[in-house]
Structures are given as C-alpha cells and as structure tokens.
Chains A and B, each alone.
Chain A
Amino acid sequence: MQAHPRPKAPNMPASPIPEDSASCPFHDGRSDKSAVIPDFQILREHPLNPPGQLNLLRQGKGLSRVRLWDGSETWVAAHYDDVREVLGSPAFSTVTKRKGYPFVSAQRCDVLQNGRPNFTFMDAPEHTRFRRMLARMFTVDRFARMRPAIEAIVEARCDALENSPQPADFITTFAHEIPVRVLAELVGVPEEGIALFLQAGKSRFDLSGEAAASHATGEVLWSYLDRLLAEREALPDPGENVMGQLITQQLRTGQFERDELILVINQLLVAGFDTTAASIAIGTLAFLTNPDQFALLKADTARAEKAVHEVLRYATVLQFHASRAAKEDVMIGDQLVREGEGVLALLLAANRDPAVFAEPDRFDIDRDAAHHMAFSFGIHQCLGQSLARLELQVVFLALARRFPGLHLGRPLEEIDFAVQGLAYTPNTMPVFW
C-alpha cells in the first residue's frame, strides 16, 4: 500500500511524527501546559459552533496532520465518514501506552498515563469482559423502567429552580444536580458521596489544570467507594442497584476482583456526570437561542426523542474526543495510517459535517440526527447512552412545560465557557423565567 500525498491543513508543519511521540512528555521543557493543540484555533467564533479551524480541516479530502501541545504530530479525522471508519475499526487501540496515542493536553497525558486505566482504555478482549458484564445492567428496557424515578428527580430540581431568586445559575441549580442524583439512584451512592464525585469530575475534566488535583480527588473517591463497597458487601442483600448487582453477580461469584469493580463504579460516576450535565446546559442554550425550536417542542411533546438526537449532535460536548493509536498499517479513505501513528477522530467535526448534516450549524429538532457521533462509535460507544437520552428527554420536556418563558440573564456572547474542558459547557449560566 502506498500513501497518497494529502492536502495539508493551513499552517501545519510538514515534519514527520517524532520517534518518541508515544512517550508522555509532561516533563519535557518544550511543553506548554496551558495550550491545548497549539495548531488548533480552539477559540470559537460563536460559542455554540465548533472553532472555524475544524471546518478548514474538512476542506481538504481525508485526514489532516496537526501538531499537539508537546510538539508531536498526529492525524486528525474531521470528515464524518473518516471518523466513523477510524472508531469502528479494530485496527485502532485506545490503550494510552501505545506508541502514537495522541494526548490532547499535558494534564490529560498525566491523568491517563499515571492513573488507573479503566476499560475505556482497553482493547478487546480485555475490554469485552467488562463491557459484556455491564451490558445487562444498561439495557434500553432497564432504563425505561427508571423513567418515573428520573421524572421525580427532574421535577424536584424544577421546584428548586422555581424557588430560587432570579437570576438563578442554571448550572449549579439544575444542570449539575440532575445527573448526580440519577447516577446516585442507578449506582447506589448515597447523597453524602455526591460532593466527592462532583469534585472528581471537575479536576479530571479541566484539560488546562494540574493533573495532581485530578489524582488527589481520584484517590479520595477511590477510598470512599472502597469503604462503601465494603459496607454493602456486609449486607445479606446488597440491593438491586448497580453496586448491589456487581456484588451478587460478579464479586461473590469470583468473576471480577474487588479493585476491578471499584474502578468500574468510579468510571460510571465520573463518565456519566460531566458529559450529561454539559449536554443539559448546551442543549438548554440551544433551545433558548433558537426560540422557534423551543416553541416546536412545547407544541408537540412527541418531538422529544428526535429533539434529543439533535441536541446531542449539536452540542457534542466531548470537544476533543476521540484519541486512537494504530495497531497495524491501515487505510482510512485513501490515506495510509501506519502502525504506531495516532489519530484524533473528532466527534465534534463529524457532527458538523455538511456532507452528512445539511446546514450543520443550524439547530433543527425535526432533522434526522440519530446517526450522530456524540456517543462515539465502535466498541467504545457510550455505555450509558440510553440513560443519557432518556434523561435529556425528561429534562427538556419538563423545562418546556414548567418554564415556557425561560431566558438567559445575559447575552450569549458574555457567558463564560470551559473552552479547555474535556466537556464543553458554560461555567455559569444566569437564567430568568
């Protein structure tokens, strides 16, 4: 197979990938800890649209090259078809120690290389063992049965918002509170544990922050879950929630080690929290800045299912995902990706590809967006997607019903966003109703 010459994205250096690009160079003097992908213009010209740079990357055919924060280079997939191809291919690995794995920041590199690797960062068959064990607890039917519990949580948060002085901060009063309570109910973590995993998510998701903060809160969460698991293990019937089922079906039968299960629970909490909170926040912003679309949802609640697909496509909060390393030489479109080279398959770029979604920057709840990439693709596609979709449907239906006059307390342009967050979200969002 032969590599075809590729059009370069603007201002991209033409040098080959350095041999040592798989090492974690966070002690490297050249590293700029504050920069996420220096070749990327991550500044968004419009807060709800991707950086214009992503559209430039898509002007060329196939993959592009970019330089990362540590000086190493990686391939970038910005076309929908290429992103789908990379993420669906068994030729690519998510194991972060593999040569070429592209880290999007120094913090991310340190967190992933020096933390405990959960099954997101395993390939088959190791990954399959975890995923299959969890699948029975994450079915569409199981979540559908949770709907009344989710509705009760959302109603209670609507009450809390309604009783707050105006303007209220939508993030702390509403967007954060819902996934935390839903996860607590699902997994079986009591209220006292909620603050711990709120904090864990915050430090892990700040790509420009200090990895030490993430490691420290991670350890606190680990000790807490370790203690909690021990308490539940001592019960004759540890319950029907995820923790209870893990104890009876996996731990007591010897299928999984204790530490493996703590890691699983830890991951469910951290992965399920920020992404959902950010999607609630960005989705609400999408409705408030497109009042015609909010009116459509208010007029016909049967639109909720399609509307949530569109919210997920439009928001794509995991703005720097997803990193992969090639385990073997593989063709992506016309481009040869060699073993040991990295690819950043950008979900955000795929979801705004005009070849797949007409007028991609338009928020249109009647479009068919079910094939969006916000949950990624391939064997690592979001385990909790059925729950996330359900949660978002309940949230937007409740907002439409209970807060038909909801509006922003300051112009969109003046809202502060986590521009270097693993999950893109407003940091604060004042609202009136």
Chain B
Amino acid sequence: MKIGTDVHKCIGAGQCVTAAPAVFAQNEEDGMVIVLQDQPQADSIPAALAAIRLCPARAIFERD
C-alpha cells in the first residue's frame, strides 16, 4: 500500500493524525498533512485506511 496526498485540499482537520499517528503528522508551520510512512508497515495499514476514510477533505488516498 502506498499513500498519496493532495496538500492543496488539506484543511488541517487532524483526523488522519488521530486515526493513524504512525503514518501521518501535521506540519507545525501550517497544520497541513505530512506523511511519515508513504508505504505503511503492515500493522499500520488498517489505521491508514481508516484515516483515508475519515479525511473530510479527501486530501489523502491510496495510490498504486
């Protein structure tokens, strides 16, 4: 699994950080999404998928 982001869509809601703190963080400068693991380890995949579903701005997604 690979993670893609569209930072222009991000609104800094922080849902991804709450759902998958090992995979996502927020940039201290602007609150926007940062990907910590662009290929999440197996044990982080369920949380990463939950984060993708929770993102209100559809700024994070699964890519090929």
Report which A residues bind B (CB closer than 8 A). 87-88, 128, 131-132, 135-141, 370-371, 375-379, 381-383, 385-386, 389
Contact = CB atoms under 8 A, between A and B. Distances in A.
A381 B13 contact: yes
30 contacts: A128-B11, A132-B12, A132-B32, A135-B11, A135-B12, A135-B30, A135-B31, A136-B27, A137-B31, A138-B12, A138-B14, A139-B17, A139-B26, A139-B28, A140-B14, A140-B17, A140-B18, A141-B17, A370-B18, A370-B19, A370-B50, A371-B50, A371-B53, A378-B57, A379-B11, A379-B56, A381-B11, A381-B13, A381-B15, A386-B18
B28 A132 contact: no
A86 to B, nearest CB: 13
* Chief secondary structure at chain B's binding surface: loop
Contacts, number: 68
Interface in B1-38: 11-15, 17-19, 26-32
B18 to A, nearest CB: 6
A140 B32 CA distance: 11
Interface in B26-61: 26-32, 50, 53-54, 56-58
A370 B54 contact: yes
Contacts of B29: 136
B28 A136 contact: yes
Nearest to B10: A135
Interface of B: 11-15, 17-19, 26-32, 50, 53-54, 56-58
Contact of A381 (B17, B31, B56): B56
* Chief secondary structure at chain A's binding surface: loop
Given A132-B31, A136-B27, A136-B30, 16 more contacts: A131-B11, A132-B32, A135-B32, A136-B29, A139-B14, A139-B17, A139-B26, A140-B17, A141-B26, A378-B56, A378-B57, A381-B57, A382-B13, A385-B14, A386-B14, A386-B18
B58 A88 contact: yes
A140 B26 contact: yes
Given A381-B13, A386-B14, A141 B56 contact: no
A386 B57 CA distance: 16
The listed residue with most A CB atoms (<10 A of its CB), out of B15, B31, B53, B57, is B31
B27 to A, nearest CB: 8
Nearest to B25: A141
The listed residue with most A CB atoms (<10 A of its CB), out of B12, B32, B57, B58, is B12
